Amino acid sequence: MSPDPLSFDVPVTLAKRTTSSPTKGFSPTKSLARYQSRGTGESADRRSSLETEQKAVRNDAESNLRLENDRLKLEMRAMQQKLKRMEKELAEKKDIQLENQTLKMQLKENRQQFLDDYFKNGIAEAMEFLSTS
């Protein structure tokens, strides 16, 4: 029988680790800085593209904040106007209540005066009637 052409008798050795941790001494920021500091035009293009994108994101965020600020200012103005209107309505209601209370007091006084006059006149008429009879 001939040997199988797909099998190989090659000794395999595993590489030993030189550190106890695979990430020991690894710093993502240093690696990124090393990558960005390479002088290739491609990384410079990526860097400027990334910076442009970051500026666009920052501008969008600032624009959104300005819009939100403007919206809140408009909402605050509307609430202040509503508050002024409600205070004015409250003052008018208080004036109406005071006037109503004054009119009720006058009505009571007038009613009492009417009753007093009616009874005085009635008694006077009765006395006159009795004196004439």
Comparison of pLDDT for 4 and 103, the residue scoring more = 103
Alpha-carbon torsion angle 42, 48, 51, 56, nearest 10:
-110
Domain coverage including residue 118 = 43-132
| Residue that has been written with the tokens 């600032």 in this structure | 62
Q: How far is CA 84 from the centre of its chain?
A: 21
Q: Is 105 a member of any domain?
A: yes
Residues 6+ apart with CB under 8 A from 66: none
Residue 37 lies in a domain: no
Instruction: Say if 100 falls within a structural domain.
Output: yes
73-106 confidence digits (pLDDT tens): 999 999 999 999 999 999 999 999 999 999 999 9
CA distance 43 to 107: 94
Q: Count structural domains, the chain.
A: 1
**Position 57 confidence tier, pLDDT thresholds 50, 70, 90:** very high
Percent with pLDDT over 90 in the chain: 47
CA pair distance 115, 107, nearest whole angstrom: 12
**Higher per-residue pLDDT: 31 or 125:** 125
DSSP state of 23: T
**pLDDT of 40 higher than 70:** no
In a domain, 71, yes or no: yes
The rounded Cα 52 to chain-centroid distance in angstroms is 31
Residue at 49 is within a domain: yes
Reported pTM: 0.44
Q: Tokens 């293009």, residue?
A: 45
6 assigned to some structural domain: no
- Reply yes or no on whether the pLDDT at 19 is more than 90: no
Please name the residues in contact with 19: beta carbons below 8 A apart, sequence gap of 6 or more: 25
Residue 107: inside a domain, yes or no?
A: yes
